[in-house]
Amino acid sequence: MNNFHIYETKEEASEFKSTFEDSKEYSRTGAKVLFEGIVRNHNELRDDVEKLFYESHKEMAIKEVSKIFDELKEEFDILHIEGYHMTGMLEVRDIAVVIIAYSEHRADAFYAAKKAMDLIKERAPIWKKESYKEEKSKWINH
Amino acid sequence: MKIKVVYFASLREESKLSEESIELESGKSVADLYELLKQKHNFSLDISKVKMAINDEYVDVNSELKDGNEVVFIPPVAGG
């Protein structure tokens, strides 16, 4: 079973719930770190971002992030890590990505959640197109 | 040999295609294919900015293509 999901609608995302919390192993958890990436109204260069369009190579993104999760389980003492990324048109204040890491002690869950996001940004085939108030939308290609 | 190319994001928009089938002589690398398609579709991204995948796995740009491969060129990713 994959622990990373690509959702196309907010309805799908609203039903997201980590199955780990129903497992026996969850009783070992002492720390749960939830990261939510939110669509903000600005980037480094401008402050009129209105919307973001995310596109993914779904199969490859799921496969690549599952690999990332496996690497993190080797590197950190985490019990479980799971998450999702939205695709399609999102507005400012919407949730774009969610990562949840579980560990016995807090440090590993914090570090693993942070590194998961660093690696997703670097490796997952997910693309972002920004829409602005005053200008044509453009793909973020840097 | 026949190669299937699938496009995403800026490359999909610039080529105006989601995918296409390319006939290629054997011995060509995935980088050779990108240069060919860059010229054909006038892609704005230089090869140094694009990652390559064959059958959904990232590969080195010099990887040799084989008949029936599915290739995806990955523009700079921007998840999160």
Of A35, A121, A133, the closest CA to residue A91 belongs to A133
Q: Among B75, B79, B80, select the one facing A139 at the smallest CB separation.
A: B75
Alpha carbons A55 and A128: distance in angstroms, whole number: 7
Alpha carbons A72 and A53: distance in angstroms, whole number: 28
**What is the structure's pLDDT at A68?**
98
**Sign of the alpha-carbon torsion through A43, A9, B80, B7:** negative
- Strands B51-54, B2-6: pairing is unpaired
Alpha carbons A60 and A126: distance in angstroms, whole number: 9
Integer CA distances (angstroms), B21 to A28, A112, B7, in order: 51, 41, 11
Q: What is the pLDDT of residues A8-56, one digit of tens each?
A: 999 999 999 988 999 999 999 999 999 999 999 998 888 999 999 999 9
Question: At residue A1, does pLDDT exceed 80?
Answer: no
**What is the structure's pLDDT at A142?**
77
Q: Which residues of B touch A40 (CB under 8 A)?
A: none
Mean pLDDT for all residues in chain A:
95
What is the chain A residue with the closest CA to B14? A139
Q: Which residues of B touch A57 (CB under 8 A)?
A: 6, 8, 53, 56, 72, 74
Alpha carbons A127 and A91: distance in angstroms, whole number: 16
Alpha carbons A87 and B9: distance in angstroms, whole number: 12
CB count, 10 Å around CB of A91? 11
**What is the structure's pLDDT at A81?**
98
Q: What is the pLDDT of residues A103-123, one digit of tens each?
A: 999 999 999 999 999 999 999
The predicted complex's ipTM stands at 0.93
Alpha carbons A46 and A57: distance in angstroms, whole number: 28
- Is residue A65 within 8 Å of residue B56, measured between CB atoms? no
Residue A36 β-bridge partners = A98
